[in-house]
Chains A and B, each alone.
Chain A
Amino acid sequence: MIDYLFLTILLPLVGVLVNGFFGARLPKKLVAVIGCGTVGAAFLIGVSALIALARLPVAERSVELSLFEWMAAGDLRVHAALLFDPLSAVMLVVVSGIGLLIHVYSIGYMWKDSGFARYFTYLNLFIVSMLILILGNNFVVFYVGWELVGLCSYLLIGFWFHKPSAADAAKKAFIVNRVGDLGFALGIFAIFAVFGTVQFSEVFHAIREPVNGFVDGQNLLVLGAIAVLLFIGAMGKSAQIPLYVWLPDAMEGPTPVSALIHAATMVTAGVYMVARCHVLYELVPGVLAFVGVIGAVTAVLAASIALVQHDIKRVLAYSTISQLGYMFLGCGVGAYAAAIFHLMTHAFFKALLFLGSGSVIHSMEHAIRHAHGDADPQDMRNMGGLGRHMRITALTFVVGSAALAGVPFLSGFYSKEEILTSAWEGNRLLWGLGVAGAVMTAFYMTRQVLKTFFGKFRLGDDIEAGLHESAAVMTVPLLLLAVGAVGAGWIAKPLHVFLSPVFNSQEVIHGGVEAAAHGGGHGSLMVIAICAAFAGIAVGVALYAKASDRPTRLAAALEPVHRLLYNKYYVDEIYDRLMISQGHALSRFLANVFDAHFIDGVVNGVAKVVGGVGEVLKKCQTGYVRNYALTMAAGVVAILLYFLMR
């Protein structure tokens, strides 16, 4: 089955082509079937390939499939080739599986949108791109996927491009990602310059078993630079400080897109990259520590912003940034398997939460439009008591929230606990930040659940009458994801055993897993984690369980802090002041002064000269054969003279 792995990319690509070229003319049902069917097939192939891989002996669980030689220029040889090992296998199944559920959900969510076929084209293209990224066996193919997912993200954030806010958000995401991609591309160039190859296995082999004592001080500096450059790319794609600002705005896209791209899959590409390159990062502990610190700080900072936001999707967006921070924290302390584990569990519960919020928004929108209101359907201050009208959505949302908050025996608990345990062994300060973030996580999720689904509906009866549960095509994916959000944590041990040949480290297995699976060794840490979760929940319940003015009073008491958090630490404003307005000033200067006068002058001058010469030479073309013959004869004489004179 592994031999047919290329089909996982090819089939969704067929979907892209069919829906892209003919989708507008096909009936919607067929578009949906093509979109979901191709991804479903990819998922099935992925699962059976995973099983086939698991049946191989451990030492052989890394298969490289070369499809064709893509380009060869000098020493650079790039094959369009796939790498299938436990890491990419897990990613493949997670991405195609969750992608499938979100595709199905999208049928219901996007049914009335006029861009239905365009939407599924983009969504399929995203799956194609993400699988290229995951399965590529070298940095160049990886980079192709990396850029393509960025493109899809841009297209889907700006899906409703007639809305200026969506168009702006799309541009912001693209531009901020460019900053990271520049670093990433430089990293790849440096890798080729140093190792003379871009293939993962060859590069890592060269690092692991250096020829002629490769790893000395100076070379370590080079490796460090490469690691930092690659990580800059990860900061952009996975929304880490300081390049996280695009992700909250990315919520302008359709909600299933937020679930798929901006929560479950694409944004985890950076984590996947660091895990994939762990051989490199382990050699440069300084950079690894940097990764961990960035992750931990992001985790806390983003969680603190999420405490006070009112937009239901924005809370989830900051929560995503925060959770991505946890994954990098895990990488930073060397617990790659734990990071990938958290990536997987997070994919389940965060996709669930986004889809749940989508279901809520869908229903709110409908109800508000029905009653001719103009309230914001995403503002939690307009909600409340939705649980009575949307039981399945509410139930699954609560399950997802509990998993994210770290309630014991749900998936998020195991993975987060594992990261925190590893952090404890690595660096106590990072662990402290992680625990603080966990408290906040539990709090903001409790706040969100209570404000949305419990209490009284805040917009009045005529709108409340329009609320309804979403269709089965939307609720069934919710239920399936909820099962994942509950149960994904229970496969911790087999997952780690499966992944261990990739990361080649015994500590993780001994440390994290044992602790998480058996509660042994680090019992007290686990107790602290549980306490953190329940502390957050308790505060949330105390403040929001009953309609009261307690939250407002608290906000007033902590006015400066609240304002700082509510305005997201003014980071956007700072960027605006520091970079964007400066950039505008520079571009205005370049456009109005430099370009208009200097460049245009030079260009037009040269063009005028060349054009004038052309006009003159054109006149030499008289049309008379005798003149032509004379020209040729003169040419012959000139050539002969040249040779005879020398």
Chain B
Amino acid sequence: MTLPGTQPPFIQVIAVLPYIELLVFGILILLVSALSRGRNLRLVQLLTFAGLASAAYSSLSLWGQGRLQFDQSHMVVMDNTSVYVLTLLCIGGLLTALTATNFVTRQEKLRGEFYALILFCIIGMGVLASTLDLIVLFLAVELLSIGLYVLAGFDREKLFSNEAALKYFILGSFSSAFLLLGIALLFGASNGTTDIAQMLSAQPSPYLSLESFTVNTWPLSTVGWSLVLVGMAFKMALVPFHVWTPDVYQGAPTPVTAFMSVGVKAAALTALLRIMVATDLFAIEKWSTMLATLAILTMTVGNVIAIAQNSLKRMLAYSSIAHAGYLVLGVVAGGDPGMVSKYMGYQAILFYLAAYTFMNLGAFAFVIYAGADGDLSLDRCKGLGFRHPIPAAAMAIFMLSLAGIPPTMGFLAKIYLFQSVVAAGDTGLAVIAVLNSVVAVYYYLRVVVMMYMHESPEEKTVTDKSRGLLLAVCGCALVTLLLGIFPAAVIKIVQMCS
């Protein structure tokens, strides 16, 4: 309500309503689990699902409303892209919660906290995906990181889990330092603004130079942006800032690995997309060259090392590095606003994120199923196709989809992505990406071969048979397949995002 003549502070709570809901439910979960001393797992799970559902619902109700802002700054921006990514994150959180039941039950203490941390992480990821302000970006990165540090070490009895948490924390702090330094430099270079959208138009600080500010000529801002890029690259696990990934992914509890491989990537890439659109940074040739170099390195290193892995978790860690490389290609393609490929790259990334959420979470869910939360070596996959036909079939679908073979969602995601790269005129880059996918087929199909073409060893595998987990595996497989055959709806949604 606005009274005539008065100027109330412009605040739209509705733009941050999903985050508030997640926060409230997270705190509720903490309270419930504290009061019931961690025994009331059912209720906690129910609260988690309710929190995720209500956040997804209220974010979906903002669909198609244009760009909503929390206040007049660009601290939190709710547009179709934010809604899309946040919904995807909620789905990811839901699937994680479904897969984690047995893992959480095994923990003696600290049960509800697991779910609360997931919700808090989603807040961080969601805000990261919907901010145009560097300070909020930093806060969001910290919010999701701190949650993930704890989650990575959630299996307190296990040495590996502790190691993973510590490594992630130390290296994460290291990269945060770069990110913060970059933000500080940009703040100085742009005469005191942290608003990404205003950075280009801002007058440079009089203490630094009399020249007008452009990204191209101004070394201070160049250094600033590169350090911000480094911070984001760490979160996305781009080579050479990926070194933490294999150890952390392998050491962390599998549901957590699944969650972070999907969620952080989605959030950080969306943030990169926003920087791309707001600053046209990657339209500058040396920036797009840098990005392309990172992409090539990331894809190649990820795929090549994945071949040499025997642990499925570690293989999927390297595979997720490789996928980060593919995704960055979309930013390269979409970077130039003068090209037709601008929207194609943007849309391709968003489509890819959806595909990746389902196929990667599904693959990790299968690792939980067949590995009973321990690790799953390739040898132990032998004969699973006959002993556990339905989950194994689902896993085969995930592997085919990750490898980019029709009729799966992963295939279409790759097609759209590579198409955008070709449309941007970087045919060479597309060729490298396709060659990389060929290499990747080897280690994905090896899993299928192990499952279906080898006799099973004598001992029986212990499986995690919680109902939620099976639901997650089958649901992901179904979505991967169905949206691979009937992608029109997702494409239409993605087109409305850009």
Is the CB–CB distance between A632 and B308 below 8 Å? no
Measured CA separation A638–B230 after assembly (Å): 11
Is the CB–CB distance between A640 and B171 below 8 Å? no
Is the CB–CB distance between B243 and A643 below 8 Å? no
Measured CA separation A493–B484 after assembly (Å): 48
Which residues of the partner chain B approach A636 to less than 8 Å between Cβ atoms?
178, 226-227, 230
Residues 299-318 (chain B) with a chain A CB within 8 angstroms: 301, 304-309
Is the CB–CB distance between A635 and B240 below 8 Å? yes
CB-defined interface of A75-98 with B at 8 Å, one 1/0 digit per residue? 000000000000000000000000
Distance in angstroms from B51 CB to nearest chain A CB is: 32
Residue B110 lies at the interface, judged by CB distance under 8 Å to chain A: no
Which residues of the partner chain A approach B226 to less than 8 Å between Cβ atoms?
636, 639-640, 643
Distance in angstroms from B165 CB to nearest chain A CB is: 12
Measured CA separation A625–B175 after assembly (Å): 13
Residue A552 lies at the interface, judged by CB distance under 8 Å to chain B: no
CB-defined interface of A617-633 with B at 8 Å, one 1/0 digit per residue? 11001010101110110
**Smallest Cβ-Cβ distance to B219: which chain A residue:** A644
Distance in angstroms from A142 CB to nearest chain B CB is: 18
Which residues of the partner chain B approach A4 to less than 8 Å between Cβ atoms?
none
In the complex, which of the residues A617, A628, A634, A640 contacts B305, with contact meaning CB atoms closer than 8 Å? A617
Is the CB–CB distance between B307 and A610 below 8 Å? yes
Measured CA separation A69–B490 after assembly (Å): 11
Residues 591-618 (chain A) with a chain B CB within 8 angstroms: 607, 610-611, 613-615, 617-618
Residue A646 lies at the interface, judged by CB distance under 8 Å to chain B: yes
Residue B290 lies at the interface, judged by CB distance under 8 Å to chain A: yes
In the complex, which of the residues A71, A623, A646 contacts B487, with contact meaning CB atoms closer than 8 Å? A71
Measured CA separation A610–B301 after assembly (Å): 11
Is the CB–CB distance between B308 and A618 below 8 Å? yes
Q: Tell me whether A625 and B290 are in contact in the complex, defined as CB-CB below 8 angstroms, given that A636-B227, A643-B226 are known contacts.
A: no
Which residues of the partner chain B approach A613 to less than 8 Å between Cβ atoms?
304
Distance in angstroms from B237 CB to nearest chain A CB is: 11
Is the CB–CB distance between A643 and B286 below 8 Å? yes
Residue B24 lies at the interface, judged by CB distance under 8 Å to chain A: no
Residues 272-307 (chain B) with a chain A CB within 8 angstroms: 286, 290, 301, 304-307
**Smallest Cβ-Cβ distance to B415: which chain A residue:** A73
Residue A570 lies at the interface, judged by CB distance under 8 Å to chain B: no
**Smallest Cβ-Cβ distance to A69: which chain B residue:** B488
**Smallest Cβ-Cβ distance to B443: which chain A residue:** A614
Does more than half of chain B's interface fall in helix, strand or loop, or is it mixed? helix
Is the CB–CB distance between A618 and B305 below 8 Å? yes
Residue A72 lies at the interface, judged by CB distance under 8 Å to chain B: yes
In the complex, which of the residues B290, B308, B442 contacts A642, with contact meaning CB atoms closer than 8 Å? B290
Is the CB–CB distance between B247 and A623 below 8 Å? yes
Is the CB–CB distance between B171 and A632 below 8 Å? yes
Measured CA separation A365–B230 after assembly (Å): 79
Which residues of the partner chain B approach A72 to less than 8 Å between Cβ atoms?
488, 491
The number of chain B residues touching the other chain, given as a range, is 35 or more
Residue B244 lies at the interface, judged by CB distance under 8 Å to chain A: yes
Residue B445 lies at the interface, judged by CB distance under 8 Å to chain A: no
Is the CB–CB distance between B290 and A639 below 8 Å? yes
**Smallest Cβ-Cβ distance to B247: which chain A residue:** A623
Is the CB–CB distance between A632 and B246 below 8 Å? no
Measured CA separation A558–B231 after assembly (Å): 91
Residue B174 lies at the interface, judged by CB distance under 8 Å to chain A: yes
Which residues of the partner chain A approach B223 to less than 8 Å between Cβ atoms?
640, 643-644
In the complex, which of the residues B222, B241, B290, B305 contacts A632, with contact meaning CB atoms closer than 8 Å? B241
Residue B486 lies at the interface, judged by CB distance under 8 Å to chain A: yes
Measured CA separation A244–B219 after assembly (Å): 75
Residue B369 lies at the interface, judged by CB distance under 8 Å to chain A: no
Measured CA separation A71–B226 after assembly (Å): 39
Which residues of the partner chain B approach A617 to less than 8 Å between Cβ atoms?
301, 304-305, 308
Is the CB–CB distance between A635 and B247 below 8 Å? no
Is the CB–CB distance between B243 and A71 below 8 Å? no
Is the CB–CB distance between A632 and B234 below 8 Å? yes
Distance in angstroms from B246 CB to nearest chain A CB is: 6
Distance in angstroms from A218 CB to nearest chain B CB is: 30
Distance in angstroms from B111 CB to nearest chain A CB is: 30
Measured CA separation A617–B306 after assembly (Å): 10
Is the CB–CB distance between A629 and B307 below 8 Å? no
**Smallest Cβ-Cβ distance to B294: which chain A residue:** A639
**Smallest Cβ-Cβ distance to A638: which chain B residue:** B240
Is the CB–CB distance between A629 and B487 below 8 Å? no
Which residues of the partner chain A approach B27 to less than 8 Å between Cβ atoms?
none
In the complex, which of the residues B244, B286, B488 contacts A628, with contact meaning CB atoms closer than 8 Å? B244
Measured CA separation A634–B170 after assembly (Å): 17
Which residues of the partner chain B approach A621 to less than 8 Å between Cβ atoms?
243, 246-247, 305
Is the CB–CB distance between B486 and A68 below 8 Å? yes
Q: Tell me whether A625 and B240 are in contact in the complex, defined as CB-CB below 8 angstroms, given that A70-B488, A614-B305 are known contacts.
A: no
In the complex, which of the residues B174, B307, B491 contacts A611, with contact meaning CB atoms closer than 8 Å? B307
Measured CA separation A623–B488 after assembly (Å): 45
Distance in angstroms from A602 CB to nearest chain B CB is: 13
Is the CB–CB distance between B286 and A646 below 8 Å? yes
Which residues of the partner chain A approach B247 to less than 8 Å between Cβ atoms?
621, 623
Is the CB–CB distance between B243 and A610 below 8 Å? no
Which residues of the partner chain A approach B286 to less than 8 Å between Cβ atoms?
642-643, 646
Which residues of the partner chain B approach A615 to less than 8 Å between Cβ atoms?
308
Most buried by B among A68, A610, A628: A628
Distance in angstroms from A44 CB to nearest chain B CB is: 29
Is the CB–CB distance between B304 and A610 below 8 Å? yes
Measured CA separation A611–B175 after assembly (Å): 31
Q: Tell me whether A625 and B219 are in contact in the complex, defined as CB-CB below 8 angstroms, given that A617-B305, A632-B243 are known contacts.
A: no
Which residues of the partner chain B approach A634 to less than 8 Å between Cβ atoms?
240
Which residues of the partner chain B approach A640 to less than 8 Å between Cβ atoms?
223, 226
In the complex, which of the residues B241, B415, B442 contacts A635, with contact meaning CB atoms closer than 8 Å? B241
Residue B229 lies at the interface, judged by CB distance under 8 Å to chain A: yes
Which residues of the partner chain B approach A639 to less than 8 Å between Cβ atoms?
226, 229-230, 290
Residue B39 lies at the interface, judged by CB distance under 8 Å to chain A: no
Is the CB–CB distance between B171 and A629 below 8 Å? yes
Is the CB–CB distance between B246 and A625 below 8 Å? no
Which residues of the partner chain B approach A625 to less than 8 Å between Cβ atoms?
166-167, 170-171
Is the CB–CB distance between A632 and B301 below 8 Å? no
**Smallest Cβ-Cβ distance to B309: which chain A residue:** A618
Which residues of the partner chain B approach A638 to less than 8 Å between Cβ atoms?
240
Most buried by A among B175, B229, B240: B240
Which residues of the partner chain B approach A631 to less than 8 Å between Cβ atoms?
240, 243
Name B residues whose Cβ lies closer than 8 Å to a Cβ of A. Answer: 166-167, 170-171, 174-175, 178, 219, 222-223, 226-227, 229-230, 234, 240-241, 243-244, 246-247, 286, 290, 301, 304-309, 415, 439, 442, 486-489, 491-492
Can you list the 10 inter-chain pairs with the closest CB atoms, starting with the nearest? A614-B308, A635-B240, A628-B243, A69-B488, A614-B307, A614-B304, A618-B308, A617-B305, A615-B308, A631-B243
| CB<8 Å pairs between A and B, sample of 16 | A68-B488, A71-B488, A613-B304, A617-B305, A618-B305, A621-B246, A621-B247, A621-B305, A623-B247, A632-B171, A632-B230, A632-B234, A632-B241, A632-B243, A635-B241, A639-B226
Apart from the given pairs A618-B309, A625-B167, A627-B243, 13 other A-B contacts in the complex at a CB distance below 8 Å: A71-B487, A73-B415, A625-B170, A628-B171, A631-B240, A632-B240, A634-B240, A639-B290, A640-B223, A643-B223, A644-B222, A644-B223, A646-B286
